[in-house]
Structure 1
Amino acid sequence: MEKKNSYLWPTLFALAVALGVFIGGKLHFNDTPERLFSTNSKKDKLNRLIDYIDYEYVDDVDTDSIVDVTVNNILGKLDPHSVYIPRSEMQEVSENMKGDFGGIGISFYMFRDTITVIRTIKNGPSYITGIMPGDRILMADKDTLFGKRIPNDTVVSKLKGRIGTKVDLKVFRKTENRFMDVTVTRNKIPIKSVVAYYMLTKDMGYLKINRFAESTFNEFKDALRKLKLRGAEKLVLDLRDNPGGYLGIAEKLTDEFLEEDKLILFTKNKKGRIKKAYATDKGDFEDKPVYVLINERSASASEIIAGALQDNDIGTIVGRRSFGKGLVQREMDLGDGSAVRLTVSRYYTPTGRSIQKSYENGHRDYYQKFMERYRSGEMISVDSIKVADSLKFVTPKGKVVYGGGGIIPDVFVPIGSNEEEAIESMDDTYQFFSRFIFEHLEEDRNRYADYTKNQFLEEFRVDDILFDNFIDFVLNRKIRLDFYAQEEKIKAYLKANIAEQLFSPNISAQIKGEHDAMLKKVKALDALEIKPAGAEISHVEN
């Protein structure tokens, strides 16, 4: 409302013109106001068509859906990363990037058609009112929340709300076989982007980031401070599967590792305007060993960090070639609650390389080429990575690096076997481990009541009965693999999921980390104090 009031003029027409200028500037259109309101304008043609359909077409038509399709078709002619965000999705997208929302502070499953609490956020609204893991939430403000036909988003909407508002819950506690009436005051609930951190060795910390939201830098600083207090003089920064996020947050995080005045990146827009970002004197982890983990799903802001450190000869990049997204988007409001994220510039690493994959043959070809990495053998052998000599760059210390299609790590770690990757998918994508453990805990939560975090970590062992029960659980879902060949890893993942539901993601990550090929490689490199000059690859023209 403040922006609109700032454009008040004596006449309604003047208001419309002023708003047109404002909107045009915001969307970076080059049209003049006269052109925007001209009957010859390309934009007016679309407006007229929608009006004709609204008022003249023989049948009733949802023109909102037509507009959505039109916008998506227009963006489909651009690059693969310019995207439309419908009004229906804006709140969730905004919350995810902001890093918090108003809610009651629980994670839950729809277990047998009923909301069942997995865990409450410590010191959050539900935790304070005494809600416990295993509790069933049956009603919210007299609205029924159980039953097969209630969509998950409906359930979430009843529990989320403005900070400070109250919600009356009807709760059933299975362990005590009783119903309770609980009033919870909604509060700010963080959506964590630093999903785990712990001490990997006595002097090396581990920290995993899953996206770059508004809250990420503060989360990172808090986790790093705690790791340093525990003795961390080295750091593993895990950016695997991180699709990116805010450019500015990535710049601030990179600054933590680079000396003052070191170039982080530069961007260039369609007019050739170059904007450079340099490190400041505020870094808290300069001149200390850092290992950055990346894989084929690390993109955008993740690649900015990896590229900036690699080009400045700082740290060691470990893993597999990253996705290859070197475009910068800006979110622009479309005036009806929807928005577009439009590519406005390209970014380049300090040596001047663009890591953006080609998209000249369209979106489908763009993603098919990504899938070809699996068929080409690139995931298994570093020698299968194809690069062009024309895209070769050299760092200040003489390390050869390449542009055009992602960050190639200094130390290559191949992808796991098909069965190892299947276990990862059962855990991350399909959540079979989490679901099985939840049902296991539901049988008798008291069996774990006496464990402390450290006791569980050091003493608990998954027995053969639990292992066999998990096999039956998975077989019933038509999954077939050699479970007994992967027994050690499966048991570790079962233990990790128990730890996450009883204690915290940090304990879970620590357990899984013992079976992580990249972390094993980092430990080996650190033990040998190897400082590789770069991965050796075959020079094959694209």
Structure 2
Amino acid sequence: MKMDKKYWPVILFTAIAFGVLIGGKLSIFGKQETLISNSHKFKLNRLIDFIEREYVDDINTDSIVDLTVNGILEQLDPHSVYISKNEQTFVAESMRGDFVGIGVNFYVYKDTVAVIKPLIGGPSEKAGIKAGDRILFADNYQLFGKKIPNDTLYSKLKGAVGSDITLTIFRKSENKKLKVKLKRDVIPIKSVDVALMISNDIGFIKVNRFSETTYKEFKAGLEKVIAKGAKSVIVDLRDNGGGYLEKAVQMADDFLEEDALIVFTKNKKERVDKTKATKKGIFEKGKVFVLLNENSASASEIFAGAIQDNDRGIIVGRRSFGKGLVQREMELGDGSVVRLTVARYYTPSGRSIQKPYENGNEDYYNEFDKRFESGELYERDSIKIKDSLIFKTKKGRTVYGGGGIVPDIFVPLQNRHSEDAVEAMMQTGIVSYFVFEELDKDRKAFYNLNFDDFIIKMEYTDLYYTNFQNYLNKNGIAVQLSKSKPVVKRYLMAEFARQLFDDEKYYEIILKEDEMVKAVLEHK
């Protein structure tokens, strides 16, 4: 198989800009508004009409409009953004927290739609579809043997709630074709990956973004670990680029006493809106730890700032991204939207944690390079803080503004350069695809294995480590794994566990060697 270049791993953390840009697009605070045009705003419309009517060649004026809007917004700040109609469909689903479909994780393997795993409780699982099945037809539409655009593929599998679809399946393990009829249903998009116990009294909750369903998911996870005896809770916000601010506020409310200030915003007219905790908190006394890294942004920083400034918990990790701008959404009438920065938010101590953006978007999103070159990712003393940006928490502890949340307990990257790049690569889709293909060779080798037997099987073999190196070589990915063998084996084992068992087993394996989790355990 020749892997599409879009799946090739890139150097360490080049995904930062994309993740935080999406977080920036989604960090909205307030109701939607409709853009109203007045007479003096028709200049651009007249120009576009003139081009469309008189220009010597045929031209797509929609693309000109998109460029014009983007050009205007780029002059403002990095988080005032235009989202096209096609992008908005994806963003809206992600932030709504669900979509309507058949309920499978899949990817296109050798020109065929291959099921990585049906979602538990979804229509496909209920209909008997299994991991490794190939979907050949959706009703009468052929899905194999040709390159199908993603939007076309998704449109064939998605549909209205309760609508029927007949899938023609090839089951490799039984070497037979079968037809499966099912009804499309609402499929949740999880924003809370997992809530589990990492010791007898420490709960762990991983939040990947802040969508409409996040607080509901988070509260269920928090109640779960409390019921299992959690006296301390770790909230993992690493690589969480943000989302709905109010969901971060609701989460913080569960940890803070009534009337504690959570966040306040200030607009151009100096109007200040404060948000305080209510009496509804369900974990106001136990210990709280928040994990952050350089990809944690926006709503993640609101939550962490509220916990830190109220002396409610300990922030562990590395300095967060530094986004302190609030967006409001405006519809443009054709399905596209603009999200315009309308205010700044401040943590309870009065900190604005927005990092500078005067030098343009490219410099803004490449600021990670400066952190890397300065050594900040490896040494806490390398974090540059201005004396004018020192603030005090409720109990008088010193905290810092001016570009992200600085952790109370600093946890550096563990390796330098190429070794860090390997670990970053091990968290990408390429590992999922490799594991699927290894399982696809002989799924019966894993039949009837319980989790303990699975661990023993994986720990005492280098087979999959060796095969993965060969897989990278075959696909033209020049990464040598030898210096990172323990890391590679751990992530491979975890991904096997995810596909054979569930997300919880994935995290059970990963968290045992997680340096930030280790720092929490040492501090506790």
Q: Which residue of 1 aligns with 2:213?
A: 215
* Equivalent residue letter for 1:202: N
1:26 aligns with 2:25: no
Structure 1 SS opposite 2:394: coil
- How does 1:33-432 map onto structure 2 within 5 Å? 36-38=37-39, 41=40, 43-417=41-415, 418-429=417-428, 431-432=429-430
Aligned length: 492
Contact 1:207 1:238 in 2 (8 A): yes
Distance (whole Å) between structure 2 residues aligned to residue 154 and residue 462 of structure 1: 44
Structure 1 SS opposite 2:426: helix
Structure 2 SS opposite 1:206: strand
Tell me whether 443-452 or 406-415 shows the greater mean CA deviation: 443-452
Contact 1:294 1:322 in 2 (8 A): yes
Contact 1:306 1:317 in 2 (8 A): yes
- Cα offset for 1:330? 1.4
Distance (whole Å) between structure 1 residues aligned to residue 38 and residue 463 of structure 2: 73
Structure 2 SS opposite 1:179: strand
Structure 2 SS opposite 1:467: helix
Distance (whole Å) between structure 2 residues aligned to residue 464 and residue 482 of structure 1: 15
Distance (whole Å) between structure 2 residues aligned to residue 215 and residue 346 of structure 1: 24
Contact 1:311 1:351 in 2 (8 A): yes
- Say if 1:57 and 1:321 are closer, same or farther in 2 by CA, change over 3 A: same
Distance (whole Å) between structure 2 residues aligned to residue 319 and residue 336 of structure 1: 42
Tell me whether 140-149 or 206-215 shows the greater mean CA deviation: 140-149
Distance (whole Å) between structure 1 residues aligned to residue 374 and residue 76 of structure 2: 28
Distance (whole Å) between structure 1 residues aligned to residue 359 and residue 296 of structure 2: 23
Q: What are the ranges of 5 or more consecutive residues in structure 2 without an aligned counterpart?
A: 1-31
- Cα offset for 1:483? 3.0
Distance (whole Å) between structure 2 residues aligned to residue 301 and residue 216 of structure 1: 12
- Say if 1:103 and 1:462 are closer, same or farther in 2 by CA, change over 3 A: farther
Distance (whole Å) between structure 2 residues aligned to residue 484 and residue 58 of structure 1: 59
- How does 1:442-453 map onto structure 2 within 5 Å? 442-453=440-451
Report the TM-score when normalising by structure 2: 0.91
Which is greater in Rg?
A: 1
- Say if 1:171 and 1:488 are closer, same or farther in 2 by CA, change over 3 A: same
RMSD after superposition = 1.6
- Cα offset for 1:489? 2.0
- Say if 1:68 and 1:95 are closer, same or farther in 2 by CA, change over 3 A: same
Structure 2 SS opposite 1:428: coil
- Say if 1:26 and 1:489 are closer, same or farther in 2 by CA, change over 3 A: closer
Q: Which residue of 2 aligns with 1:436?
A: 434
Structure 1 SS opposite 2:121: coil
Structure 2 SS opposite 1:183: strand
- Say if 1:508 and 1:462 are closer, same or farther in 2 by CA, change over 3 A: farther
Distance (whole Å) between structure 2 residues aligned to residue 28 and residue 338 of structure 1: 11
Distance (whole Å) between structure 2 residues aligned to residue 292 and residue 462 of structure 1: 35
Distance (whole Å) between structure 2 residues aligned to residue 460 and residue 480 of structure 1: 25
- Cα offset for 1:322? 0.3
Distance (whole Å) between structure 2 residues aligned to residue 393 and residue 160 of structure 1: 50
- Cα offset for 1:234? 0.8
* Equivalent residue letter for 2:423: E
* Equivalent residue letter for 1:45: K
* Equivalent residue letter for 1:131: I
Note the alpha carbon deviations across 1:390-443, whole angstroms, 9 max, x for none. Answer: 1110112121011100000000001121344223222223x3322221111001
Report the TM-score when normalising by structure 1: 0.88
Note the alpha carbon deviations across 1:354-382, whole angstroms, 9 max, x for none. Answer: 00011122222222333211111110101
- Cα offset for 1:460? 4.8
- How does 1:471-510 map onto structure 2 within 5 Å? 471-480=469-478, 483-510=481-508
Structure 1 SS opposite 2:42: helix
Q: Which residue of 2 aligns with 1:6?
A: none
Query: What is the identity percentage for the equivalent residue pairs of Structure 1 and Structure 2?
Result: 53
* Equivalent residue letter for 2:421: A
Q: Which residue of 1 aligns with 2:10?
A: none
Contact 2:33 2:329 in 1 (8 A): no
Q: Which residue of 2 aligns with 1:461?
A: 459
Distance (whole Å) between structure 1 residues aligned to residue 289 and residue 141 of structure 2: 50
Contact 2:423 2:488 in 1 (8 A): no
Structure 1 SS opposite 2:178: strand
- Cα offset for 1:466? 2.4
- Cα offset for 1:469? 1.7
Contact 2:423 2:487 in 1 (8 A): no
- Say if 1:318 and 1:437 are closer, same or farther in 2 by CA, change over 3 A: same
Structure 1 SS opposite 2:358: coil
Distance (whole Å) between structure 2 residues aligned to residue 154 and residue 320 of structure 1: 41
Distance (whole Å) between structure 2 residues aligned to residue 175 and residue 468 of structure 1: 25
- Cα offset for 1:148? 4.0
Contact 1:199 1:205 in 2 (8 A): yes
Distance (whole Å) between structure 1 residues aligned to residue 276 and residue 453 of structure 2: 46
Q: Which residue of 2 aligns with 1:16?
A: none
Q: What are the ranges of 5 or more consecutive residues in structure 1 without an aligned counterpart?
A: 1-24, 30-35, 527-542
Distance (whole Å) between structure 2 residues aligned to residue 26 and residue 437 of structure 1: 46
- Cα offset for 1:479? 4.4
Structure 2 SS opposite 1:469: helix
Contact 1:457 1:507 in 2 (8 A): no
Contact 2:422 2:479 in 1 (8 A): no
- Say if 1:420 and 1:508 are closer, same or farther in 2 by CA, change over 3 A: farther
- Cα offset for 1:486? 2.4
Distance (whole Å) between structure 2 residues aligned to residue 168 and residue 266 of structure 1: 52
Distance (whole Å) between structure 1 residues aligned to residue 457 and residue 226 of structure 2: 27
Note the alpha carbon deviations across 1:21-78, whole angstroms, 9 max, x for none. Answer: xxxx93577xxxxxx543xx1x111111111112222222211111111000010111
- Say if 1:414 and 1:351 are closer, same or farther in 2 by CA, change over 3 A: same
Q: Which residue of 2 aligns with 1:514?
A: 512
- Say if 1:59 and 1:419 are closer, same or farther in 2 by CA, change over 3 A: closer
Q: Which residue of 1 aligns with 2:7?
A: none
Tell me whether 299-308 or 458-467 shows the greater mean CA deviation: 458-467
- Cα offset for 1:458? 6.8
- Cα offset for 1:502? 1.0
* Equivalent residue letter for 1:26: E
